[in-house]
Structure 1
Amino acid sequence: MTTAQEELLPGTRRALLHRIAVAQAEGRAPSLVAAVVRGGRTVWTGARTSVEGQAPDENVQYRIGSITKTFTAVLVLRLRDEGALALSDPLERHLPGTGAGGATVAQLLSHSAGLAAETPGPWWERTPGSLRPDLADVLGERPLVHPAGRRLHYSNTGYALLGALVEKLRGAPWEEVLRREVLEPLGLRRTTVHAEAPHAGGWAVHPWADVMLPEPLEDLGLMAPAGQLWSTAADLARFAAFLSGGDERVLSDESLREMRTPAAPAEAADVTSGYAYCLGLEVRHQHGRSLVGHTGSLPGFLACLTAGVADDVSAVVLANCTSGPAPFTVAADLVRIVAEAEPRIPAPWQPLRETPDPAVLELVGQWYWGTAAFALRLRADGLVSLGPLSGNGRRSRFRPQGDGTWVGLEGYYAGEVLRPVRRPEGAVSHLDLGSFVFTRQPYDKEAPVPGGVDPEGWRGIG
């Protein structure tokens, strides 16, 4: 257990332990280890095991399966931030001759490239990667099963291509680039391509009998960027803190926000279940919360890392069984337990550190889009926010562009330009937001309201 664990109340710690104990017992897992992160620090770890006195701690390795994809996505975003590629680039521009070169980098990251889910031939997770020595062996004769960009179709082979892309642009093996650019800067010393003691063994538990069978532990070869890694609860807790807050040595907070933004076309079933895929991350909705992270599985192992960004609580769950406890459900429950028992205490309000530009301060206050009332506020971080005074509606933060205009950062107005329009004498006439006119009074006659304003003005029903 970590010393920081004492930061949680005893009742919270017991509720967390109870949840993983139920998961291990009812899921019939040989062992299960979990961690909770709050405020960028690990505040709780716990474990359960079927072998008395041999419970794993947070430094025992488990295979993490598809959580590996998030690490690969970080490498690709680093290349983008350096200008080595654009997310809109077709794969063919950087990695020619794959047969899937028309798909863009963003589509590969978001599982919308139309690629097949699995490799042809024998089940790649239980067979050695040497059976697939070339990308042609990974993709097969029919790599595409859907038109690119049309739908979310989870593809392990797509991340094999992204790993090959990293190798091509870096001129070094994927695992070497990962270690140098992500693992070492973040201090993830127990996250490795191959198992390093102490590590858990992978087991299959018989569905109708309390007996077990060892699962093979294969080197996945070219499929490694999709699911090869081993890690620990402690390392994944550090990685969760990075995914929530960023680390400029690896990836900026702005790029991580982009990674957390849904990027794949949603299927009707996904909308109903509250699931979306981003750039190497999944978004799921549980207990009224938006949770961002990734699940993972390989024969013998189950894993989940998920973060409630709004609550500033993340959870990691690792188990060494092929099926059993549902790792996302358990992790989501751990987030809920902490968030509800010990709600996040907001940081103290802070004013702007610098004197605001009078031209900006002149813009704040109430505005009307037609008859709908909105408020424009200047924030302590130098951004402005626009949103309805009451109820639901379009809202966004805006970043200054240095020329008197502002660009939207999220929602309907993401990428749209907010432009204050002044009268000849210098006073603000209205705000132009993507052709929408916001005025100080509803349908102000002095502003260029599209369609004009009835000259007789407001009236009653008679």
Structure 2
Amino acid sequence: MTTPHQEELLPGTRRALLHRIAVAQSEGRAPSLVAAVVRGGKTVWTGARTSVEGHAPDEHVQYRIGSITKTFTAVLVLRLRDEGALDLADPLEKHLPGTGVGDATVAELLSHSGGLAAETPGPWWERTPGSLRPGLADVLGERPLVHPAGRRFHYSNPGYALLGALVEKLRGAPWEEVLRREVLVPLGLRRTTVRAEAPHAGGWAVHPWADVMLPEPLEDLGVMAPAGQLWSTAADLARFAAFLVEGDERVLSAESLREMRTPAAPVEAADVASGYAYCLGMEIRHQHGRSLVGHTGSLPGFLACLTIGVTDDVSAVVLANCTSGPAPFTVAADLVRIVAEAEPRIPAPWRPLREADPATLELVGQWYWGTSAFALRLPADGLVSLEPLSGNGRRSRFRPGADGTWVGLEGYYAGELLKPVRRSDGSLSHLDLGSFVFTRRPYDETAPVPGGVDPAGWRGIG
């Protein structure tokens, strides 16, 4: 069993983390910077650096988190989906008519593939009062669409204003109230608020060529709030990161959160090269050979990042109160790397299944798709996994479905049915996976292989 002492980070790891944020704050010329690291669902380290009098931060001081707000909004939308109030494939017009962009689906808005413009018309919305944009028409403008819906990934802040309005319409209450009631209170995020509550950091612009600062305005974003309004703390975002991995049945299931972490937008060529992909309110980036999922955020005067190394079970939060300077994702990715490399995750003990269905046990073992060898395994989580023995080829996990079938969870076979097919005497003949026939022997002549099997059988050259 893990003791509280074992959950703590080693002194050398803590010093490396402190050194990394100290370099970021110094070289990035940030008035202040705070960070937190989560491992195993618990906050195991927090740190802060400042050089400005009156800016002594800790993990309980609020910073503006910008577009990390979008992840909170996405959680509200997925809750509506899970309750049956909407389908992600629904066009916006079905629930929120009259916007002029109603052909975009809920999923496309969540994944920034609805074709909407990146920003609002008129003055810079992040630095001017939300009262200048009292309604959705003011957010969308005369040219709200710049691409065909579903065709490409194009980050859109107005798209999340629409999602916030969708939440309000279906819940019959303001977005702020719904968020507090359905997410913030159940998760205990008491220091995550729509408006700043003391103690909070001030937002600053640091001159690019001189070590002087200028205060940034702190505006209420109005109808754009669901895209970037929230204030939070390193401690609260650390708890939120743990939730995004583990789930909480009072808010959103682990299965729905896995869906949120799955790429959902068309990927541009430049994104393929960088390893970037957008999911449903979350983004995936690659750094140090790791796949990291979360969200970055910025508003004038503030920078933020929450990122999760799911494989390593390490998450990091970085908050700074400057318009530009330190790169929050790079710093957060380094914090994940430091912990993951210095103190690698200790695997949970292997445990056998409590019980196994004999019909499922009959399926495991080696199978062939044509001449390609695959293994079907039954691990302790109760899912079955199909993977190529050569290391190359399609792989997926499958959950039990109805009538002895299995449903694909990822990759090429996501959503596809794996069906065990039996002969008239009840013996197992083959597996049917989306019309592909898997047999116990390569091109088994006793199975209905499409195209048939040459009756002369296998032969050499002669």
TM over 0.5: yes
The residue number in structure 2 matching 1:188 is 189
Give the Cα–Cα distance (whole angstroms) in 1 for the partners of residues 65 and 358 of structure 2: 53
The residue number in structure 1 matching 2:362 is 362
Range with greater deviation from structure 2 (389-398 or 259-268): 389-398
CA contact (8 A) 2:421 2:429 kept: yes
The residue number in structure 2 matching 1:170 is 171
Q: Note the C-alpha offset of 1:381.
A: 1.9
Q: Note the C-alpha offset of 1:134.
A: 1.1
CA contact (8 A) 1:191 1:229 kept: yes
Q: Note the C-alpha offset of 1:6.
A: 7.0
The residue number in structure 1 matching 2:446 is 446
Give the 3-state SS of the residue equivalent to 1:114 in structure 2. coil
Q: Deviations over 1:427-459 (max 9, x none)?
A: 111111111111111111111111111222112
Q: Note the C-alpha offset of 1:390.
A: 2.8
Range with greater deviation from structure 2 (403-412 or 378-387): 378-387
Give the Cα–Cα distance (whole angstroms) in 1 for the partners of residues 359 and 2 of structure 2: 51
Q: Note the C-alpha offset of 1:51.
A: 2.9
Give the Cα–Cα distance (whole angstroms) in 1 for the partners of residues 148 and 246 of structure 2: 35
The residue number in structure 2 matching 1:33 is 34
CA contact (8 A) 2:204 2:301 kept: yes
Give the Cα–Cα distance (whole angstroms) in 2 for the partners of residues 207 and 314 of structure 1: 31
CA contact (8 A) 1:377 1:386 kept: yes
Range with greater deviation from structure 2 (389-398 or 33-42): 389-398
Give the Cα–Cα distance (whole angstroms) in 2 for the partners of residues 375 and 430 of structure 1: 14
Range with greater deviation from structure 2 (443-452 or 388-397): 388-397
Give the Cα–Cα distance (whole angstroms) in 1 for the partners of residues 12 and 56 of structure 2: 22
Range with greater deviation from structure 2 (368-377 or 53-62): 53-62
Q: Deviations over 1:40-72 (max 9, x none)?
A: 000000010013695311000000000000000
CA contact (8 A) 1:2 1:42 kept: no
Give the 3-state SS of the residue equivalent to 2:403 in structure 1. coil
Give the 3-state SS of the residue equivalent to 1:310 in structure 2. coil
Give the Cα–Cα distance (whole angstroms) in 1 for the partners of residues 7 and 162 of structure 2: 44
CA contact (8 A) 1:2 1:44 kept: no
Give the 3-state SS of the residue equivalent to 2:150 in structure 1. coil
Range with greater deviation from structure 2 (253-262 or 50-59): 50-59
Give the Cα–Cα distance (whole angstroms) in 1 for the partners of residues 258 and 69 of structure 2: 19
CA contact (8 A) 2:55 2:201 kept: no
Range with greater deviation from structure 2 (321-330 or 442-451): 442-451
CA contact (8 A) 1:296 1:303 kept: yes
Matched, 1:14 2:6: no
Q: Deviations over 1:361-392 (max 9, x none)?
A: 11111111111111111121221111112312
Give the Cα–Cα distance (whole angstroms) in 2 for the partners of residues 111 and 66 of structure 1: 13
Q: Note the C-alpha offset of 1:359.
A: 1.4
Q: Deviations over 1:119-151 (max 9, x none)?
A: 110000000000011111111111111110000
Give the 3-state SS of the residue equivalent to 2:318 in structure 1. strand
Q: Deviations over 1:181-232 (max 9, x none)?
A: 0000000000000000000000000000000000000000000000000000
Give the Cα–Cα distance (whole angstroms) in 2 for the partners of residues 425 and 449 of structure 1: 19
Give the structure-1-normalised TM-score: 0.97
Q: Note the C-alpha offset of 1:461.
A: 2.4
CA contact (8 A) 1:69 1:226 kept: yes
Q: Deviations over 1:124-179 (max 9, x none)?
A: 00000000111111111111111100000000000000001101111111000000
CA contact (8 A) 1:266 1:276 kept: yes
CA contact (8 A) 2:203 2:216 kept: yes
Structure 1 residues without counterparts, runs of 5 or longer: none
Matched, 1:378 2:378: yes
Q: CA 1:6–1:48 in structure 2 vs 1: closer, same or farther (change >3 Å)? A: farther
Range with greater deviation from structure 2 (328-337 or 375-384): 375-384
Give the Cα–Cα distance (whole angstroms) in 2 for the partners of residues 380 and 123 of structure 1: 53
Give the Cα–Cα distance (whole angstroms) in 2 for the partners of residues 6 and 409 of structure 1: 32
Give the 3-state SS of the residue equivalent to 1:177 in structure 2. helix
Matched, 1:70 2:91: no
Give the Cα–Cα distance (whole angstroms) in 2 for the partners of residues 172 and 331 of structure 1: 35
CA contact (8 A) 1:202 1:214 kept: yes
Give the Cα–Cα distance (whole angstroms) in 2 for the partners of residues 406 and 264 of structure 1: 26
Q: Deviations over 1:220-251 (max 9, x none)?
A: 00000000000000000000000011011000
Give the 3-state SS of the residue equivalent to 2:12 in structure 1. helix
Q: CA RMSD in A?
A: 1.9
Give the Cα–Cα distance (whole angstroms) in 1 for the partners of residues 445 and 107 of structure 2: 46
Give the 3-state SS of the residue equivalent to 1:209 in structure 2. coil
CA contact (8 A) 1:2 1:45 kept: no
CA contact (8 A) 2:89 2:106 kept: yes
Q: CA 1:206–1:349 in structure 2 vs 1: closer, same or farther (change >3 Å)? A: same
CA contact (8 A) 2:404 2:419 kept: yes
The residue number in structure 2 matching 1:231 is 232
Q: CA 1:54–1:136 in structure 2 vs 1: closer, same or farther (change >3 Å)? A: closer
Give the Cα–Cα distance (whole angstroms) in 2 for the partners of residues 438 and 52 of structure 1: 69
Structure 2 residues without counterparts, runs of 5 or longer: none
Task: Kindly tell me the number of residue pairs found equivalent between the two proteins.
Answer: 459
Q: Deviations over 1:393-415 (max 9, x none)?
A: 21111111131111111111111
Range with greater deviation from structure 2 (200-209 or 53-62): 53-62
Q: Note the C-alpha offset of 1:353.
A: 1.1
CA contact (8 A) 2:32 2:55 kept: no
Give the Cα–Cα distance (whole angstroms) in 2 for the partners of residues 381 and 22 of structure 1: 42
Q: Note the C-alpha offset of 1:2.
A: 18
Q: CA 1:397–1:110 in structure 2 vs 1: closer, same or farther (change >3 Å)? A: same
Give the 3-state SS of the residue equivalent to 2:390 in structure 1. coil
Give the Cα–Cα distance (whole angstroms) in 2 for the partners of residues 76 and 54 of structure 1: 36
Q: CA 1:76–1:25 in structure 2 vs 1: closer, same or farther (change >3 Å)? A: same
Give the structure-2-normalised TM-score: 0.97
CA contact (8 A) 2:31 2:55 kept: no
> Percent identity of the aligned residues?
91
Q: Note the C-alpha offset of 1:360.
A: 1.3
CA contact (8 A) 1:374 1:387 kept: yes
